[in-house]
Amino acid sequence: MDKKRLLLISVAAVIALGTGIAAKSMFGKAAVPAVQAIVAPAPKGPRVLVAQRALPVGTIVTADAIGFQPWPKDMVRDAYFLDDNSFSMAKLVGTVVRYPITAGQPLTQGALVAPGDRGFLAAALTPGMRAITIPVSDKSSVAGFIFPGDHVDLMLTQKVTGNGPDASQPLNVTETILRNLRVLATDQSPVSDKTPDGKISVHTFHMVTIEVTPRAAEKIEVAQSLGAIDLTLRSITDSQAELDAKTAGLSTMPVKPGGPAIEGSALNATPTRPIEGATTFSTGGDVSRFQRRTVPAQSAASRLGRTGPVIKVVRGNAVEQSGEGGAGLAGAVGNMTNTIANGAGNAGKTTAATSPAAAVMGN
Dump the DSSP string for 178-228.
EEEEEEEEETTBSS--B-TTSPBPP---SEEEEEE-HHHHHHHHHHHHHSE
For residue 266, what pLDDT is reported? Answer: 45
Which residue numbers in the chain have pLDDT < 50?
247, 250-270, 325-329, 332, 337, 341, 344-345, 347-363
Residues 234 and 148 in one domain: yes
For residue 148, what pLDDT is reported? Answer: 82
Residue 187 lies in a domain: yes
For residue 208, what pLDDT is reported? Answer: 92
Contact status, residue 40 vs residue 70, Cβ threshold 8 Å: no
Last residue of a domain, one of 121, 150, 170: 121
Residue 249 lies in a domain: no
Residues 182 and 328 in one domain: no
Residues 77 and 142 in one domain: no
Residue 29 lies in a domain: no
Beta bridge partners of 280: 176
- Return d(Cα 202, Cα 144) in angstroms, integer: 6
Q: Give the C-alpha distances (Å, rounded to integers) separating 327 from 301, 318, 333, 357.
A: 10, 22, 10, 17
Residues 116 and 159 in one domain: no
For residue 350, what pLDDT is reported? Answer: 42
Residues 179 and 221 in one domain: yes
For residue 28, what pLDDT is reported? Answer: 60
Single pTM value for the model: 0.55
How far is Cα of residue 8 from the mean position of the Cα atoms in its chain?
92
Q: Give the C-alpha distances (Å, rounded to integers) separating 207 from 36, 44, 144.
A: 62, 49, 11
- Return d(Cα 352, Cα 354) in angstroms, integer: 6
41 sits in which H/E element: none
CB burial class (10 A; 0-12, 13-18, 19+) of residue 23? exposed
Residue-wise pLDDT tens digits, 247-302: 455 444 444 444 444 444 444 444 567 888 778 889 888 988 888 888 877 665 55
Beta-carbon count within 10 A of 197 CB: 5
Residues 117 and 132 in one domain: no
Contact status, residue 339 vs residue 315, Cβ threshold 8 Å: yes
For residue 211, what pLDDT is reported? Answer: 93
Residue 315 lies in a domain: yes
Alpha helices (H) in 235-314, listed in sequence order: 238-251, 259-269, 284-287, 300-304
Residue 141 lies in a domain: yes
Give residues with Cβ within 8 angstroms of 326, minimum separation 6.
304, 308
Task: Measure CA of the first residue to CA of the last residue in the chain; give whole Å.
Answer: 141
For residue 275, what pLDDT is reported? Answer: 84
Residues 280 and 193 in one domain: yes
**Between 238-251 and 259-269, two packed helices, what is the crossing angle to 10 degrees?**
160
DSSP state of 146: -
Residue 102: CATH number of its domain: 3.90.1210.10
State how many domains the chain has. 3
Residue-number span of the structural domain to which 324 is assigned: 311-362
Q: Please tell me the total number of residues recorded for the chain in this structure.
A: 363
